[in-house]
Structure 1
Amino acid sequence: MHMPNRIIRLAKERALESFSALAEQTVVEADSMTTRAMSGASGVALADLVTVRNFLRGEARTLRARMDRHFASLLERAMVTMHAQQQKAAAQEINYATLTLIDDDVVTRQIEIERMVGRLREAEQVELGRVNLTIAIMHDDREARERENPFRPYLLARALYEALRELMWEESQSKVLYDALGMAMAHRLPGFYAGILDVFEAGGITARLAARPSAMKRGDSERAAWSRAAQDVRGVAPAGVRVTELSDEQQLAHARLMDKLQRLFELQQIDDLPRASVPTRPDQLALPDARAQPGDLPQRDLPHPDLPQLDLQLDLQLDLQPDLQPDLQPGLQPADPAAATRRQDLLDVVWDTFHKPKGTPVPRSARPHGERPLLDQALLGLQQEVAAGVAPPKPLALRGLLDPADIDLEQRRILDIVALLFESIIADDLVGVQMQHQLARLYLPFVRAALQYPELLYEAQHPVRRLLDRLGSVGAGVTPAAPCFAVLEPEVSNIVGAVLDLFDDDLLLFGDSESALDSHVSEMLAGCDAAMARCFAAVAEAQADSARLTGAGRALSAALQPLQVDPRLADFILGTWARVLSHPGRSAEEGIALLPELLWSAQEKTTPDDRAAMMRMLPDLVKRVRGGMASISLPEAPSKAAFDRLVAVHMDVLGNKQERARRLMSLDAFRQHFAGFAIDAVVPSADSEHWVGKFELEAALVRRGVQASVHAKAAARMARPSDADWLSWARPGTGFELKIDGQYRTALLCAVSAGEGAFVFSVADEQQQVIFLRAPLLEAMELGNLRPLEPAPLFDRAVESLMAGAKSLSA
């Protein structure tokens, strides 16, 4: 990924400002913590605390200034060295001549700093991880390494340590002060990395948390192919590799890359100032006679071969490529050096197109009522022809079908960039040939939408982009080998056809098409497999039971609140009996009817008649309670534990050990209290809509006779900003890899419950379905045990390819 200097500069400025504020807050917080600690200290500890507080109040300004100075120095060095290619020295044998001693102070410093680094890392772990990943992706690295993050916690801890060491030399007091400042900084740290993330996101850089390291091989191969083609253009390709030595498919792929390079050359000139002797086409560059000319390569209209096959065994590191511009012929250098320096770099042109800062005003000319621009009129005519069955035009050939007089410079730039983008989209090797054809049919609606709404090129959640990405995910996940593929293809064709027929300027059409695709994929995957259909039904039933359980809990809580209820009985009613009430059928009605008797039986008995009535009631009460728990298939262990709690309550009542009631209620009074009780009228809260209970799911699977592997247990986790990134992949028809017994197996996400509470997967060569509840799914994706087949969404992959091409040409 390209890394604009302005964004890095803004992030650096934000870090310096935030650290100054953090240093000030740290000193104030440490002062308060030390003052509180003095109240319980005595002797030497109290003397040290007094010294520390006096230091904080007397040297606070000096300490903050030195912390700022050290942090600025460390940050400057980290900016220079992050992701720098370091030449590793040759391995040496260990012997006494190579061993050196480390000073004790250095060891002590590292121990103290690392201890504080761990404390800071835990204070803002999620945001720090996103900054680490953002920095990695900006350097074309899919593996996040904290040591490459120039804003890492080590710099904060080191700045504090060095500043304090310069001002206080007494060891015990310095240690107390360092600990106090460290805890204070960790307490005030939240928000520091969030501010840096805001800078990156405002500049259009968002770290996607679903990248797969293994997918980088494909990206490296594609970047190598771009660089190879660019070197062919310049005539500086490595010796020993010739285009004529490639296979036919490799020559065809190379020719298509050369076509895209030519369009990139033209795009590079759009915003250029006039200058002499600068080539505007790749065929104007001098090529050695021994090399085949680009125009001599075959131009047959064949499917695009996989780019990874175009492996020329070139060890290319694009970030370390020498400046290619000086390698041009001397006669091709710009005649006006000043004009060349004013020229906007191609890489920045492409980058700025897809990474606009948030809130960027979008220039858009208002269309006069009843009038249509000539360019849009021509594109609409072509769109209607494709809707009628004509083959869509090649992206790079579209501009040749239009009148140049109808196109201004900004429209030409958008046309060229979208053409290059779609060349990569419709040739993506993760998408099947059939889906590539449907994506090619969407080219003209996409072009028209981009000309009317340029923001779709940099808004990740734009409905046009979302439809493209969903088609790409379904095309990668549902392969032709799947039994339901034959049903999928005509429906996708109908959805794309509807867009071609109806799209003029209403973007809602793309969102509706995406929803239609999701609905069809879910129905299709359920209809092609009877076992999967039963699993779908069990998940839907479990979600309905879970929603009723939530409603029952809320209704019971409201009904019990005005009553004096034994805590053990309240726990039984809310924890166990609520499940009986939430279970659909006759058992729920019987369970509601039993509530007055349960509550009356647990109330103290003050008269012989009440005690006698309770003794007559208990056998039938026990029988009905057991029947209710059996109706929901409650396992033996929790059933016995719940019943034992209920028996203990009744034993206390019979033994006159029950707490005295504030106001005795008769059985009729309890029945009157629950006369209007109902749970259907209670709507689950928004927080519980996505919840699917483990017990409810397992019970529903048993009732339906479904054998499935259920992942329902996960460590307690709070909602995190990254959850939305992970869940954006969890859509029906998306392909995944699931780690089973240490090995990754291909899996297909077949269904997602309403509210994203449960996710049903089919796994290759497995008879049983795999079901993840929401929290275990997020945990599995975070740990890498469940990962998407795609390294990035389809649109983002095309942008990365285009950036690789621009990087191969940028000087």
Structure 2
Amino acid sequence: MSALNPSLQLALQRLAQAFEEAIERTQEAAGQLAGSALKAARRDELLLTQALLRQQRSQCLGQFQQNLIQAWNPKSETVAQGRPSNWSELSLLDDTAVDAIVAADRIGKALGHSCEWELREVEAYTGALLGDPEAGPDRNPVRPELIARALLAAVDGMTDQPGLRQTLSEELTRSLSLLMKICYSDLAMQFVQRGLTAQDMRTVSAEGGGRSSSGDGLSTSQAGALGSSQAGAMTAAERQALGGATAAPAPIGARGGLGHVEPVVMDLLRRLHFSAPMLSQASLADASAPAAGNLIHLHREELRQATQTPLDHMVIDVVASLFDAILADPKVPPQMARLIGRLQLPVLRAALGDTSFFAKRSHPVRRFVNRLASLACAFEDFSRDPGLGFLQRVAELVEEIAGGDFERLATYEKQLDALESFIADQGQKLLQAQGQDTAALLERKEAQARQRLQYQKQLEKALGELPLPEFLRRFLSRDWSAVIVHAANQGEQQELMARRQGRDLAVSVLPKGGSAARKDFLTQLPLLVRGVNLGLDNVGTPEALRKQLFADLLPVHAEALKTPALSVLDQNLLIKRIEAAFGLAVPDEAEALRATISLDIDLEQVFAPDEAHQVGLVAEAEVAWTGEVDIDLSAEAAAPLQAVDISIDGLPSAEAPEPTQGAALFEHLQLGCVYRMHTGEGWRKVKLTHISAQRSFFIFTEGEQIAKTVTMTARMLRRLCESERLKAFESAFLLERATARAREQLAALLPAKSGGR
């Protein structure tokens, strides 16, 4: 057997990669199907399928590759002849061979069903791959028919039981068919990168290629209107306009699908989606524009006919009920409800392929829909910015999903990242429009607070073994260390002065025996007191603390004047140790952050009164914590949803909903969402506009056009949550609310149980 040329070797690696991913998907899907199987025999068969794939994965992949290599061998008749099958010759074959040919033909059609355009692009390189300019699509070495034969050979090598072989081939075909579009796109991209020359695209006949010349979803007239070279150069938008709805190629090896859905179901979902009218930019912000219709209800019978299992039928009904509740939810502005309505069929596709959609609150599709609804509650006016800008950006993201490749989790994760980035940027622009960079100021204050804390710990350790009164050691390490850090940020001269004053304050309590030492002390004392007061003024130290300091120093100084002095050597050694303690370098911001990242820091201390007023800092002392808070915010207030409230019989058990009040709410605060806050006499609606990098400061804004800033430290905000003075504006996320309503509706349709509801 001759060696493969580099281009075919590259194709082999990419096909093997796709087949390996299909094995992984099939293994996972078999376990899920086994859990929902109604018959024990079917469940056992699926579990055995899963076990075979797990145990013989390497052998299966190796057999697949080996069969492809044999088919690509120039001496093999598979590629050399490549002519249409003559059904009259089948009389010479036994029944097993006939079944194999029929199965390979069926699997080949399934693999090529949804990747017509991508396959045509690859077929353009057939001549370059085989070194034969006359080679046509019927000799394409990566055509679905050859891949189907390799798949069957791999299955035959795993087991000799007919039932298991059929299950394996069916499930692997379903998984692999979802990957062929990306696989062919990647191959075409790789062939271009290797410098292969493409031939002009030719119309593929049903006889030669086993596919209709009209392509995937194209009518005969549409296909005939396309020139040979134009068909190969069509953009994704042009293909969507013609019904192909082909998305841009994904990166090689990209993973993260939404589970298996039959190609025929995907085709139907795309057709129904593109048949629905799109939203115009003019009506985007119009609250009185017609509401979105429930497409799933309108096409329910068509969708049920395309799907096969009772579980799929139930999922269709559940998702339809979900969107009934979503589109009628009073908390969702009508402008946003219409945009979310554009996601009906993508959400249905996610639910059909992955039933964990109903259980995992972290599911990207759920997070995206919930996030849109929650963010929309923060805007009061969508006719102008910032509400209008938000709607326009959301419309772009929604159309990119609905009109693109919504079969992949990565699509939703990408849009979520784009949405989060937009919200963060919009919040920064809002704060900057107020004429101050509040976020930057808070970052500096946090860095300063961390430097203070770390330097305080270092100075406290250095002073720990010195013979100083406990009150003075505590003052120098806790309060005067803040003065030194502040001075270090002002300049070298100010820092040296602050260190010297701290050193002099420590030396002032040492024994003074002798008239000369007493005279020097009494002469320098007024200057020392003035310097200490100035330093404390710079960091806003309360007056009460100063009075207490000087009151404690008075008897200590009096005692020091009466106590005999130490020897000159001991005195000098002690002063050297004090000077060494105050000679410690102030840690830089990065060092301080690493050392204090896990510590609870009182950040209010770093703000001067005018700075606190500038950023709208709410201090703990400003809240009447002993006052009663009216828990019932409105007539619509309801008890928080429980996991059992949003579970649906037949679907995976739901995770507990995220908290909307209480201490746990602090860990679930989200940028851009609105909350109800009670810090004074009543409740007010605020929007979380900024969260510092270390989640130490939180900036809320009240109002939209002329926003008032409300800033809180993490300690303050956590206490608000614990005392239930901060609550989420939504009683639960949109999909949790909708699922609870859908569950109630479905329960009402079921016959009442005896003795129960």
**Structure 1 length-normalised TM:** 0.47
- Taking CA–CA contacts closer than 8 Å with sequence separation of 6 or more, which of the two structures ends up with the larger relative contact order? 1
**Structure 2 length-normalised TM:** 0.50
Which has the higher Rg, Structure 1 or Structure 2? 2
